[in-house]
Amino acid sequence: DAGVIQSPRHEVTEMGQEVTLRCKPISGHDYLFWYRQTMMRGLELLIYFNNNVPIDDSGMPEDRFSAKMPNASFSTLKIQPSEPRDSAVYFCASSLGLAGALRPTDTQYFGPGTRLTVL
C-alpha cells in the first residue's frame, strides 16, 4: 500500500515567492495533518483536517500560511509571500482516527517531508 505522498521533496525559492506544498494522504484516512520541523522549534503541528474540513489551525504561524483540502486525497500548504525564516522541513501525516479510542487507528503516518529553503 502506498504511504503518504508529498511533493516536491525539495524546494528552493527566493524570498517573496509563493510556495505550494502538496500531500496525498493514505487512502481511507479521515485525518490529515501538516507539521513543520526546524532546529529551533522541533516538530510542531500547523493545522489538521477531518473529512476535508480544517479543525484546528492554531499552529499556523501567520496569514502568509494557508492550507486547503479540496478532496479526500489531496491537500496543499501554501506560503505567500515566503520568507527565509520559513525554511524548514514540512511533513504531512494522515490517520484513520484521532486519539480517543482504544484502537490503533489514531496512529499518524508521516510522509517523507518537503525540505523548503527560502533564500
Partner 1 sequence: AQKVTQAQTEISVVEKEDVTLDCVYETRDTTYYLFWYKQPPSGELVFLIRRNSFDEQNEISGRYSWNFQKSTSSFNFTITASQVVDSAVYFCALSEYRYRPGNQGGKLIFGQGTELSVKP
Interface positions with partner 1 (CB under 8 A): 31, 33, 42-45, 48, 55-56, 89, 91, 93, 95, 97-100, 102, 104, 106-113, 115
Question: Which of residues 81 and 112 has its CB atom nearest to partner 1 in the complex?
Answer: 112
Least separation, in Å, of the C-beta of 76 and partner 1? 20
Report the C-alpha gap between 34 and 57 in whole angstroms.
10
Least separation, in Å, of the C-beta of 69 and partner 1? 16
Question: Which of residues 82 and 114 has its CB atom nearest to partner 1 in the complex?
Answer: 114
Report the C-alpha gap between 36 and 59 in whole angstroms.
10
Question: Which of residues 58 and 71 has its CB atom nearest to partner 1 in the complex?
Answer: 58
Question: Which of residues 72 and 89 has its CB atom nearest to partner 1 in the complex?
Answer: 89
Least separation, in Å, of the C-beta of 57 and partner 1? 11
Please list, residue by residue across 2-35, b when 16 or more beta carbons sit within 10 angstroms of its beta carbon and e when fewer do.
eebebeeeebebeeeeebebbbbbbeebbbbbbb
Pairing relationship of beta strands 114-118 and 10-13 according to DSSP bridges: parallel
Report whether the peptide linkage leading into residue 104 is cis, meaning its omega lies within 30 degrees of zero: no
